[in-house]
Amino acid sequence: MIKALIVYGTRYGAAASTAEEIAKTLRQEEIEVRVIDAKQEKVKTISEYDLVIVGSGIQIDRWTSEPEAFLKNFQKELSEKKVALFVCCGSASQALNTEDTKTADRAKRKYLQEKAAKYNLQPVALGLFGGVYNYNKTPWWAKKALNAERPKIAAAYKEAQPGIYDTRDRDAIRGWAKELSNK
């Protein structure tokens, strides 16, 4: 049986639930999956896994530090494995960027392709998914900018809960994972 490891870092939960959605889809394809929140648990070895998926939320153009550290620590081993990367970020939100493909292209290049190049990885798949805007947990330094975007976000997405807008396309996540299972 194929074994996969999903390691993620999250700030507001988007990467966590995306990792779980990917895991659920892979399990339906009869792949054994282990999911690890890199902030809660440190990975000691990846030798037993055929596929390693690493994901992160994006804030201020940066990955969370824990999956970044995982990529750095396992760089050599990952170069010998099938690897996939994914990010959850607002610039990937399709409804907000329908006429702005440059933003999505920039996000894919900056957050995925450049990250793979930094660690000399040749990923079999790159996943760019929307994020979660949580106005209840907005840091003080980001309030002004996020509040300016809120009317546009509210017009494009329903609130998942009061003050929380989930911009991810779950079907796209499942489709990406299904394609990944065939690689």
Pairing outcome for strands 3-9 and 51-59: parallel
pLDDT confidence of residue 12: 82
Q: What is the pLDDT along the chain (183 residues), one digit of tens a residue?
A: 899 999 999 988 899 999 999 999 999 999 999 999 999 999 999 999 999 999 999 988 899 999 999 999 999 999 999 999 999 998 777 545 556 678 888 889 999 999 999 999 999 999 999 988 888 888 788 788 888 888 988 888 889 899 988 989 999 999 999 999 988
pLDDT at 119: 97
State the DSSP H helix or E strand holding residue 13, giving kind and residue range, or none if neither. Answer: none
Per-domain residue ranges of the chain: 3-131+168-181, 132-166
CATH 3.40.50.360 for the 3-131+168-181 domain, yes or no: yes
Q: What burial letters (b/e) apply to 145-172, b meaning 16+ CB within 10 Å?
A: eeeeeeeebeeebeeeeeebbbbbbeee
Q: What is the pLDDT of residue 76?
A: 96
**pTM as predicted:** 0.91
Structure tokens at 89: 């970020």
